[in-house]
Amino acid sequence: MSFDLKIDAEIGRRRFSRYAFQHDCTLIVDDLSITGRIFDISLGGAGLMLPLVASSYGRLDQLKFRIEDVCSFGALVRWKADKKIGLQFDPVAHRSMALRDLLESLSDRDQADNREMTTVTSGFLPISS
């Protein structure tokens, strides 16, 4: 009997870069609308904080995810823990220019933060432009 170690090694790896992001969002499940708070996001999904324990909303399998004035598409709940849930976006999200623009701005923000951190820890103070 043989095992494919490559598959085992890739379990738990993320396909897309994930960025810390604090923003309100809306989940729509049937007739229920839930306002949540995003705590991280990627091209493939997002982590959300809900007002109540996730299990109190009943089945949250398939839903519609919306960030006002940015994007809206379907999503699947991949995990639940207390008031947090993890979403996997429908593949159509990958084509959303609004989501890509948001993620690009978060990437730029993180790169700028890293440059500043490197500059400060190397003994030089950042120069503001």
Question: pLDDT tens for residues 9-64?
Answer: 444 566 789 999 999 999 999 888 999 999 999 999 999 999 999 999 888 878 99
Whole-angstrom distance, CA of residue 75 vs CA of residue 85: 12
Tell me: the pLDDT tens digits for 72-91? Answer: 999 999 999 999 999 999 99
- The alpha carbon of 30 is separated from its chain's Cα centroid by a whole number of angstroms, namely 22
